[in-house]
Amino acid sequence: MLISRRSVLSLSIAALATPALIRPGFAASCTSYASLERGIVFKRKDGTRGLARRESDGSVVIDYVNNQGDRTDRRTVVKGVFETRRIYSDSEFPVVGSAPPEFTWKYSPKPVEPEAGGSWSGKVNELRDDVGYGAYMKEIHSRSRTTWKATYSFLQTGEANFSGCHYMTLPVEAVFTGEQGTRTQRWIYFPQLGFGIETKRDGVGNGITSMQAA
């Protein structure tokens, strides 16, 4: 459940800087704060269950779907919401003779940490790699490139309570324009955790219904 900032003006942002400094009501019910090092499990309104974690190389990987067969939506992010890699397949069943397409993105200038009231604008270079298999299972790659102009807007902070634990939230909205048209994304970014979960894509909402330590 997301809570409006207006309803909690009495709680300063400084008091939210660390999980230890939370209101007594939440402290009593929060048994384990989420962290990327241990893994964070979340669910969204469409019934998908996901897992976010920090890899040994420091990168953050978010598996948006791990409960629907072979359906895949695995993304690597920097600065919480800037996606640098995505492997995506919407099929719950294996597709013979091919692998899920892989997308990679490079940003110019470099992404920044989301801060309330701030923004980032620049160019995003996208590479799509489709993989098929020929004779003797030889990989056949088909690559395409797209350039986007993008603007990320960091909105005002709010608060959320998941599994009895209290977190600061910061909505982030992004608009991409290019030869293929316009696409949009929205995330709820958690400054205390260092990552965000996508809650809207191209006008279709898919909010967070639960989140907890793995």
For residue range 108-120, what is the model confidence (pLDDT) as tens digits? 999 999 999 999 9
pLDDT of residue 93: 62
What average pLDDT does range 117-144 have in this prediction? Answer: 86
Determine which helix (DSSP H) or strand (DSSP E) holds 29, and give its type and residue range: helix 24-29
pLDDT of residue 130: 86
Q: What is the mean pLDDT of the chain?
A: 85
pLDDT of residue 145: 96
CA distances for 90 relative to 9, 51, 101, 126, angstroms: 42, 17, 11, 20
What average pLDDT does range 20-24 have in this prediction? Answer: 38
pLDDT of residue 58: 87
Lowest mean pLDDT among 59-68, 84-93, 167-176: 84-93
The type of residue at 158 is G
Tell whether the model's pLDDT for residue 25 goes beyond 80: no
Q: Tell me the pLDDT tens digit for each residue of 38-87.
A: 999 999 999 999 999 999 988 999 999 988 888 899 999 999 999 999 99
Give the contacts of 117 (CB within 8 A, at least 6 positions apart): 154, 155, 156
What average pLDDT does range 113-137 have in this prediction? Answer: 89
Tokens of 74: 């695995």
CB 175 within 8 A of CB 191: no
Q: What is the pTM of this model?
A: 0.81
pLDDT of residue 1: 45
Tokens of 139: 């990989």
